């Protein structure tokens, strides 16, 4: 657990960035498929500023980890051969595409013919960004990270925290809850998948050990922390459902739900970094 706490800048970067990607992509899907009137569409696009802000905060946290912004620029020298360089480049492209899209709409300068094409490019760059983020941690000498659980966890963060944020933003943008019902079902499915993956990963840790260290000994209270994360996730989802039935408290319930989902994913990411171990000369199991 201490290792996870020592990597708090990376915890915040990965969770905030993935949440921003998920929220932007979910909102982009609504804009592509929805038939909302122009004033409501403008309100929804205006709220793109919130994922952009989260992404900006995430990048700021990553700079704290690197120690200097110049190191991030230096890392770009190895695009194509370095997973870290690819991650920084993909994040910059996603940020620029989202920011320019938002700015053009705010200035009312977005050409109609480019709108949907831009959204598709934005979504594609978001997927690439999350893929490159997970690739950074697929290290052969770190058996607790070098598996499918890493990519699945990163993608689920984008879906769970990101879609929850998108749901709240769309509601604040004036979209009726009935139009967003599929998002709630997607979130429920994602939460159930998250539980199954957490159980499966907990069992898999028993098979990972080196001559000097066991994966199960890295975080003594791992099971309890995972249970706390699951409780936070379902509490957050419950508040989303309740916000539909209680319009008077909808704003408070939506904000509380986003906060709980983010807290759950931050906790899960601290556990992820707490599981860091190197294989040494041999891995048993």
Q: What is the pLDDT of residues 151-209, one digit of tens each?
A: 999 999 999 999 999 999 999 998 999 989 999 999 999 999 999 999 999 889 888 87
Rounded Cα distance between 256 and 272, Å, is 24
CB 144 within 8 A of CB 276: yes
CB 27 within 8 A of CB 173: no
* 285 part of a folded domain: no
Average pLDDT over residues 212-231: 87
pLDDT tier, 220 (very low <50, low <70, confident <90, very high otherwise): confident
As for how many domains the chain has, the answer is: 1
**CATH number of the domain enclosing 191:** 1.20.1630.10
Average pLDDT over residues 79-98: 87
Rounded Cα distance between 40 and 216, Å, is 51
pLDDT tier, 281 (very low <50, low <70, confident <90, very high otherwise): very low
- The token pair at 100 is 């320019």
Residue 114 CA neighbour count, 13 Å, CB half: 11
Average pLDDT over residues 66-91: 71
pLDDT for residue 8? 87
- Conformation bin of residue 174: beta by default, left when phi > 0, alpha when psi is -120 to 50: left
pLDDT tier, 285 (very low <50, low <70, confident <90, very high otherwise): very low
- Closest by alpha carbon to 59, among 105, 106, 12, 19? 12
CB atoms within 10 A of CB 69: 12
For the whole model, what pTM was predicted? 0.91
Contacts of 128 (CB under 8 A, 6+ apart): 90, 93, 94
> Bigger pLDDT: 276 or 123?
123
Average pLDDT over residues 108-137: 93
Rounded to the nearest 10°, the torsion over CA 66, 69, 70, 74 is: 60
Structural domain of 266: 7-275
Rounded Cα distance between 258 and 163, Å, is 9
- Least confident piece of the model among 119-123, 140-144, 187-191, 212-216: 212-216
* 1 part of a folded domain: no
- The token pair at 27 is 């909102």
CB 42 within 8 A of CB 1: no
CB 36 within 8 A of CB 175: yes
pLDDT tier, 5 (very low <50, low <70, confident <90, very high otherwise): low
pLDDT tier, 3 (very low <50, low <70, confident <90, very high otherwise): low
* 282 part of a folded domain: no
pLDDT one-digit tens code per residue, 20-78: 999 999 999 999 987 766 788 888 899 999 999 999 999 888 777 565 555 555 655 66
pLDDT at 127 > cutoff 50: yes
Render the burial of 1-18: b for 16+ CB within 10 Å, e for the rest.
Answer: beebeebbbbbbbbbbbb
- The token pair at 79 is 């695009």
pLDDT at 81 > cutoff 70: no
* 234 part of a folded domain: yes
Considering the chain, what percentage of its residues have pLDDT values greater than 70? 89
* 2 part of a folded domain: no
pLDDT tier, 283 (very low <50, low <70, confident <90, very high otherwise): very low
Mean pLDDT of the residues in the chain: 88
* 284 part of a folded domain: no
Rounded Cα distance between 241 and 258, Å, is 13
* 281 part of a folded domain: no
- Give the residue carrying structure tokens 């200097």: 68
Average pLDDT over residues 259-266: 97
* 39 part of a folded domain: yes
CB 210 within 8 A of CB 279: yes
């Amino acid at each position: 657990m201490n290792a996870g706490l020592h990597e708090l800048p990376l915890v915040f970067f990965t969770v905030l960035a993935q949440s921003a990607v998920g929220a932007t992509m979910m909102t982009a899907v609504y804009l592509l498929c929805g038939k909302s009137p122009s004033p409501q569409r403008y309100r929804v696009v205006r709220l793109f500023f919130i994922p952009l802000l989260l992404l900006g905060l995430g990048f700021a946290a990553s700079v704290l980890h690197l120690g200097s912004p110049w190191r991030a620029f230096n890392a770009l020298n190895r695009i194509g051969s370095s997973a870290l360089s690819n991650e920084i480049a993909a994040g910059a492209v996603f940020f620029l595409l989202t920011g320019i899209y938002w700015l053009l709409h705010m200035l009312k300068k977005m050409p109609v013919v480019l709108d949907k094409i831009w959204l598709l490019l934005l979504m594609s760059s978001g997927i690439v960004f999350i893929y490159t983020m997970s690739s950074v941690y697929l290290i052969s000498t770190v058996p607790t990270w070098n598996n499918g659980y890493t990519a699945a966890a990163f993608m689920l963060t984008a879906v769970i925290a990101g879609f929850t944020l998108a749901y709240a933003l769309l509601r604040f943008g004036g979209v009726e809850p009935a139009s967003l019902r599929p998002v709630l079902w997607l979130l429920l499915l994602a939460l159930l998948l998250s539980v199954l993956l957490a159980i499966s990963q907990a069992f898999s840790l028993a098979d990972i050990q080196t001559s000097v260290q066991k994966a199960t000994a890295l975080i003594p209270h791992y099971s309890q922390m995972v249970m706390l994360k699951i409780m936070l996730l379902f509490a957050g989802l419950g508040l989303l459902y309740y916000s539909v039935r209680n319009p008077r408290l909808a704003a408070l319930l939506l904000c509380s739900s986003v906060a709980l989902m983010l807290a759950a994913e931050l906790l899960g990411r601290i556990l992820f970094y707490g599981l860091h171990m190197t294989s040494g000369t041999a891995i048993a199991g």
